[in-house]
Amino acid sequence: MHAIEGILFEPVGCLAEFPAEPFHEIATRLFGGRRKTSKSGSRAYWHLLNLIEAADRKLDPSEREMVESLEVQAVDGASAYDDVVPALSELKAIGTRLLVASSLSNAAVTRFLERSVPREHFSAMWSRDNAGGVKALPLRSALHCASLNPERTMFLTDTAEGLKVAKSVGVQSILMMNDPDEAKRLAMHDPAGGIVSLYELPDFVRLLAARNA
Amino acid sequence: MDAIQVEYEVLPFASTLKDAMATDAPDLRGGKGNLLRHANSPQNFPNATWAEQQGDLEQGFAEADVIREFTYRFVGGVSVPMQPSGSVAKWNGDQLTFWGMGQGIYPVRAALAAALGIDASKIRFINKWNGSTFGAARLAAERFYPLIAHLAKVTGRPVKVMLPKDQELAQLQIKPETITKFKVGARKDGRITAIEHEVFVSVGDLDSGGHASTPGNAQNQLELYTSLVPHWRSLWCAYRTNAPRPGPSRSYYQQETKWSWESMMDEMAEAVGLDPVAFRLMHITKPKPGDARYPYDSFPSVEVLEEGAKAFGWNRRNPTPGGAPGRFKRGFGVGMSQHHGGLMGYHEGEEAFQKLAAAPGAAVFGTELELGADGYVTMKVALPDSGSNAATALAHLVSEMLGFTNRNRIRLIWGDTDMAPSSDEWFGGRTITLQGAAICSAADKLRKDLLRRAAASLQVDVAKLQIRDGVISSTEDPKKTTTLYALAKANGGTIRQTGRGVSGGERTGSNKGVGACFVEVEVDTWTGDWRFLRAVYPHDTGLVINPLVAEADMVGSLVESTQVATDAIPWDREFPGTRHYSVGYLSYRLPTIMDVPKQTQLYIDSLEPRWFYGVKSFSETSIGAVPGAIANAIYNACGVRIREHPITREKIMAGLRAQGRRA
Amino acid sequence: MKNISIYRPSTVEEAIQLLSRHGTEAGVYAGGTDLLIRLKNRLKQAPTYLVDVKKIDNLRYIKEDAKGGVAIGTATKLSEMADSELLQKKYPMLVQAINMISSPELRNASTLGGDLLQEVWCQYLRGGYSCWRNGGYLCYGAIGDNSYYHSAMGGRLCYAVYPGDAATALIAFDARVKLATPGGVKELSMEQLVPGDMMVDGRIQSHVVRFNEILTEVVIPPPKPGVRASFEKLRPRGVWDFAMASLAMSLQVRDKTIEDARVVFGGISGKPLRETHVETFLKGKTLAADLSDQAVSIALANAAPLKYNSTKIDMAKGLLASGLAKMSAVA
């Protein structure tokens, strides 16, 4: 793996543990069907993103409002991981560029940064609103606007879908391995790397720098 | 070509019973459901593959004063041969020489010939020494034979395949993950009134046969403990999984099911306030002569337990689990095992032999004995050896029948189709029994032939001749003697006789084996460490041909079963779906010389009367008793009951911790 | 197995030059009981250029120094240490520990330096998985079967335990080491040598030795008066196996009062772990059986077990109780 210049963060599952309920609710209200029961916020979220991507239609204003409101509810119910702020500070100090590349709405991302992680850690903030879509689109926008080489950029994720998206965009897919059983399953999807916790991220970046020196 | 790159798409999978039985389990059988059901599966038990029952369970439980439920899990295990799975193919024109690994010569040659579309006579198949096979290595090695033979043909060069240890572990058959549920009712006096028994087993990719269809030999243990129980039901529920295929792995249907039986019998004994040996004595099958249900002429179940308990000093057992004072606590445990007693059959000369031998697919064993002018008898046996040293015992038979007082005059040629006549393959107690039948038949013929020739040469009545250590002499006139080598010389240098035996017929069903294992352990209650101090291994052996070979077999049996009980490969924690095992011996620890306890063999010579020299198979029976015996001993020592296999120091420590012990 | 080259230098300087030339593709080859296995198992991380130090004259010795301590050359075989009367006289606990390493056959080939600097035995690394120590960027132990070979005291990137027993025992004796480097000789404490979870020259390793440095000597200070020491190692089998948990303890006792203590756990962490809270607690206390409960209650307070290895902590605590009980039983 090359030395890393930048890291893209999707808050859901990587910076904080999000509740699943609001995403299940959005999915049911937008697309109907049986409500999923998975307790995993990340899985609920990525399932919803798949539905959104497949539907490929613009939301009308009332739908937008409903979705944003529920997303904000999810953000309010999220608990940021303990090591987020120290890890991001350390990464910034060693010169790694940090960007938010999220499929959440602009409102939700902004709320998240207000509540959980100070905005100043990030050099750019991409949401589905300014990227014009979900999943790969925020990542591509972030890469393009920051002129980042995908091979020198990491994307953290804790779902199989997230790994697929990372690979399709060409960035280094880094598995968040906070749940060992889930991670064991996901490791079979061949991520480029994996960390048990965010506090390992700065050392990961340092190791790559030393190896590629 | 340096490498082949493969892209895998990981499909949904279920490596454990829990995954395969879940309501949202991946579909592994194209919509048919993961539970295997066959044409003869029970209609009234739609959730079972096989069922058997007796009486009325409801009534049985109603009559009980004490009812208990237990669940045990056997996580899986495998016996790993020391020798890696490998073979070599080399052509010379249209003749193939093939060096194989496994338990058979001629049948394997036939299968290889069929796969290659050539006549079997074009193949010289050699297999002499195997560093264990355990049944499992047959599959691991044999599936590659046609491939490397083909590669050798098209390249014109000898080709060898030798699997690395971790890849071999993906080819060997395993002892499958098995979950057993019991509901047992007993009266105050200890008599069991009802047993409800449900077994869930992971059968890998099997669709039918073996574990996928019936409990097979596991029905033995069911029989051992239900023969005196009026109401019982046993269900066998086979689930398709993505785990490795189960099958012979030093026997099968044994540890995975007997782990639960032996634990349950101990727990029930405790529930009714009886000693575990006494409780077993109360319930084990004790066939009477003429018993149509259990027509075993020899089944010394009581003797096995009582003699074993005596030799072990069972009466010194502390009946309170964890009752011994101090940090280091010792405990006693017992386990039993019922199994087939070897595969019987008939030898040449017996009435049933011709018909059985002529049937299609007959398993016929053959041999040739050749007396040479040097006075040596060469025994030709087309069986490979797996470390069990069957040939030593076979040589014993020949020596005895030809009047030798030692084996020094017997030579062995084996494991080569160019040098020994056709024999079937061996497994589960077929060497001394069926190859032995062929050997004895040939030796009998040779003895008679030699006596006839001597009678003619000495002008003495055959009935008045004796044969001892190569010398045939008149019982009335010691000056009238001749020697074996003189007779051979007179016949142009050699005298040969062949012999055959065949498997099958009535005899096999009437033959049963039973054994037990008594175990003493010591547990360090401060660290969870434990030591296996000693074992007494009483078995219904019939006639023991060679005590040293028998002892070696029994030591191997105890060591192997201890390994299976204590260090199963943790494949459920590895990476199911990618590699089931990460490495060979770092994740799989065989007991070493430092860990093998003092072991006393007790041979209960029950003399199987239907077999012409009273022999029985026993080291396959014996392995079933060990895991339960060790778990029971550990419970007796420190009060920690391990219901989820394997038995580990971590579990002992966790159990001690839960009891609130130190640290 | 890949093609390799073997050099047989006759001096340490020559060896360092060779190591410098080939960088991280080279490695020191002493007994080979770790290195050759890595090569045979085709681990990507195994060196291609082997610098055999067995022909170097001055790396194999056990000798008393002027102060009454002992200096040991790192190419000394473990069996030579086990048979040393000098070591048995001055540091019997060390000999006890050496005798619990691997097997008699392996001890005939393995060296002290090799034991101190050996690669971890995590079954995933050794099975060729592309983990942090083998060309990859993920720890399989953290998410797979971590019951035996992985740390219950936390980790960073790699979670494998430090497997060596010699260091565990030597730390209890305040041993120091010498490193030969291109810039001269460096001296370190044993603890500084194996701090665990290190990133050195772009690699993850348990020790601080750089690609062009050679560990040459271990120096044990003279035995302190009134020292009682013990070493206990819990393992599944009576031979070969690495520690599930181990404990090297050294108490300096005068008139039943503990003047100084060293408590070092092995097999539970990415490094041999000095439990300084217990050491501090023990200092000044009367050595008696009732110390155990208190010592155990404060030991390993910041344990961070993985899914399957919390019993390592319980076992380690059991060893602490056991060690203290043994020592207080000595008159």
Three-class DSSP labels, B391-406: HHHHHHHHHHHCCCCC
From chain C, which residues contact A within 8 Å (Cβ)? Answer: 136-140, 142-144, 155-157, 159, 199, 201-202, 204, 306-307
pTM of the model: 0.93
Spacing of C-alpha C224 from chain mean position: 22
pLDDT at B343 (0 to 100): 85
Choose among C279, C262, C250, C265: nearest CA to C314. Answer: C265
CB contact under 8 A, A184 and C144: yes
- Chain A, residues 184-203, CB within 8 A of chain B, namely 184, 187-189
Give the pairing of strands A172-176 and A153-157: parallel
Strand, coil or helix: what is C16? helix
Instruction: Report pLDDT digits (tens) over B120-161.
Output: 999 999 999 998 888 877 878 898 999 999 999 999 999 999
Choose among C327, C175, C171, C151: nearest CA to C264. Answer: C171
CB contact under 8 A, C143 and A191: no
CB contact under 8 A, C311 and B524: no
| Helices marked H in chain C | 12-22, 35-40, 78-82, 85-90, 92-98, 104-109, 112-117, 123-126, 140-143, 166-172, 190-193, 276-282, 291-298, 310-329
Cβ-Cβ contacts under 8 Å, A181 against chain C: 143, 307
pLDDT at C289 (0 to 100): 84
Cβ-Cβ contacts under 8 Å, A184 against chain B: 575
A196 touches C at CB < 8 Å: yes
Chain B residue with minimal CA distance to C236? Answer: B649
pLDDT at B13 over 90: no
CA distances (Å), origin B662, targets B522, B651, C201, C285, C319: 17, 15, 44, 21, 11
Q: What are residue B465's DSSP bridge partners? A: B474
DSSP secondary structure code for residue C199 in this structure: E
End-to-end CA distance of chain B: 58
DSSP secondary structure code for residue B412 in this structure: E
Cα C308 from Cα C143, distance rounded (Å): 10
Per-residue confidence band for B613, with pLDDT thresholds at 50, 70 and 90: low
DSSP secondary structure code for residue B624 in this structure: G
Q: Is the dihedral of CA C313, C314, C317, C323 positive or negative?
A: negative
Choose among B635, B641, B617, B636: nearest CA to B557. Answer: B617
Q: What is the mean pLDDT of residues C242-265?
A: 97
Percent of chain B with pLDDT over 70: 96
Cβ-Cβ contacts under 8 Å, B328 against chain C: none
CB atoms within 10 A of CB C327: 19
Element (H, E) at C249: strand C245-254
CB contact under 8 A, C311 and B529: no
Task: Choose the closest CB to C236 out of B527, B567, B583.
Answer: B567
| Helices marked H in B46-168 | 57-62, 106-116, 136-142, 145-155, 165-168
Instruction: Give A81 to chain C, closest Cα distance, Å.
Output: 17
- Residue ranges of domains in chain C, CATH in brackets: 227-329 (3.30.390.50)
Contact C232, C247 (CB under 8 A): yes
Neighbours, chain A (3 or more CB pairs < 8 A): B, C
**Residue from B8, B9, B10, B580 to probe the interface with A (highest A Cβ count within 10 Å):** B10
Mean pLDDT (chain A, rounded): 94
CB contact under 8 A, A194 and C138: yes
Instruction: Report pLDDT digits (tens) over C266-301.
Output: 999 999 999 999 999 999 999 998 899 999 999 999
Choose among B205, B154, B199: nearest CA to B181. Answer: B199
pLDDT at C304 over 80: yes
Cα C27 from Cα C213, distance rounded (Å): 10
DSSP secondary structure code for residue C304 in this structure: B
Cβ-Cβ contacts under 8 Å, C204 against chain A: 207
DSSP secondary structure code for residue A173 in this structure: E
CB contact under 8 A, C311 and B654: yes
End-to-end CA distance of chain C: 56
Neighbours, chain B (3 or more CB pairs < 8 A): A, C
Task: Choose the closest CB to C319 out of B527, B570, B657.
Answer: B527
Cα A45 from Cα A51, distance rounded (Å): 10
CB contact under 8 A, B591 and C237: yes
pLDDT at B307 over 70: yes
Cα B272 from Cα B264, distance rounded (Å): 12
Give the pairing of strands B598-604 and B178-186: unpaired
Cα torsion B28, B33, B34, B38 to 10°: value is -120
Task: Choose the closest CB to C138 out of A175, A203, A210.
Answer: A175
pLDDT at B198 (0 to 100): 98
pLDDT at C331 (0 to 100): 64
Q: Report the phi/psi class of residue B252: left, alpha or beta, with left for phi > 0 and alpha for psi in -120 to 50.
A: beta
Instruction: Report pLDDT digits (tens) over A123-182.
Output: 999 999 999 999 999 999 999 999 999 999 999 999 999 999 999 999 999 999 988 988
Q: Over the Cα atoms of chain C, what is R_g?
A: 19
Per-residue confidence band for B584, with pLDDT thresholds at 50, 70 and 90: low
Least confident of B118-122, B272-276, B297-301, B400-404: B297-301
- Which of 3.30.450.20, 3.40.50.720, 3.40.50.1000, 3.30.70.1090 is the CATH number of A6-17+80-212? 3.40.50.1000
DSSP structure string for B517-538: EEEEEEEETTT--EEEEEEEEE
CB contact under 8 A, B649 and C244: yes
Choose among C144, C30, C204: nearest CA to B583. Answer: C144
Cα C58 from Cα C40, distance rounded (Å): 29
CB atoms within 10 A of CB B475: 12
Choose among B540, B559, B547: nearest CA to B598. Answer: B559
Q: Report the phi/psi class of residue B387: left, alpha or beta, with left for phi > 0 and alpha for psi in -120 to 50.
A: left
Instruction: Report pLDDT digits (tens) over B150-209.
Output: 999 999 999 999 988 777 877 888 899 999 999 999 999 999 999 999 999 999 999 999
Chain B residue with minimal CA distance to A187? Answer: B575
Per-residue confidence band for B577, with pLDDT thresholds at 50, 70 and 90: very low
pLDDT at B580 over 50: no
Task: Choose the closest CB to A196 out of C142, C199, C201.
Answer: C142
pLDDT at B572 (0 to 100): 52
A35 touches B at CB < 8 Å: no
Start and end residues for every CATH 3.40.50.1000 domain found in chain A? 6-17+80-212
Choose among B295, B615, A188, A201: nearest CA to C156. Answer: A201
Task: Choose the closest CB to A184 out of C143, C159, C201.
Answer: C143
Neighbours, chain C (3 or more CB pairs < 8 A): A, B
CB contact under 8 A, B595 and C238: yes
Per-residue confidence band for B610, with pLDDT thresholds at 50, 70 and 90: low
A152 touches B at CB < 8 Å: no
Q: What are residue C227's DSSP bridge partners? A: C252
Instruction: Report pLDDT digits (tens) over B532-566.
Output: 999 999 999 888 888 898 999 899 999 999 999 99
Cβ-Cβ contacts under 8 Å, C136 against chain A: 193
Give the pairing of strands B231-239 and B50-54: antiparallel
Cα B33 from Cα B287, distance rounded (Å): 41
Q: What are residue B144's DSSP bridge partners? A: none
Cα C282 from Cα C262, distance rounded (Å): 9
DSSP secondary structure code for residue B40 in this structure: T
**Residue from C143, C200, C211 to probe the interface with A (highest A Cβ count within 10 Å):** C143
- Residue ranges of domains in chain B, CATH in brackets: 86-168 (3.30.365.10), 178-342+511-658 (3.30.365.10), 345-507 (3.30.365.10)
Task: Choose the closest CB to C237 out of B581, B595, B648.
Answer: B595
End-to-end CA distance of chain A: 12
Could you tell me which residues come within 8 angstroms of residue C280 by beta carbon, excluding any fewer than 6 positions away?
Answer: none
Choose among B505, B347, B500: nearest CA to B422. Answer: B500
Strand, coil or helix: what is C280? helix
Six-digit token pair at B143?
Answer: 């599936």
Mean pLDDT (chain C, rounded): 96
pLDDT at B574 (0 to 100): 57
Contact B331, B634 (CB under 8 A): yes
Cβ-Cβ contacts under 8 Å, C23 against chain A: none
Could you tell me which residues come within 8 angstroms of residue A48 by beta carbon, excluding any fewer than 6 positions away?
Answer: A23, A26, A27
Contact B216, B256 (CB under 8 A): no
A3 touches C at CB < 8 Å: no
**Residue from A164, A184, A186, A189 to probe the interface with B (highest B Cβ count within 10 Å):** A184
Cα C34 from Cα A23, distance rounded (Å): 51
Task: Provide φ and ψ at B310, rounded to 5°.
Answer: -65, -50
DSSP secondary structure code for residue B314 in this structure: G
pLDDT at B291 over 70: yes
Most distant CA atoms of chain A, gap in Å: 53
Mean pLDDT (chain B, rounded): 92
pLDDT at B609 (0 to 100): 64
DSSP secondary structure code for residue A188 in this structure: G
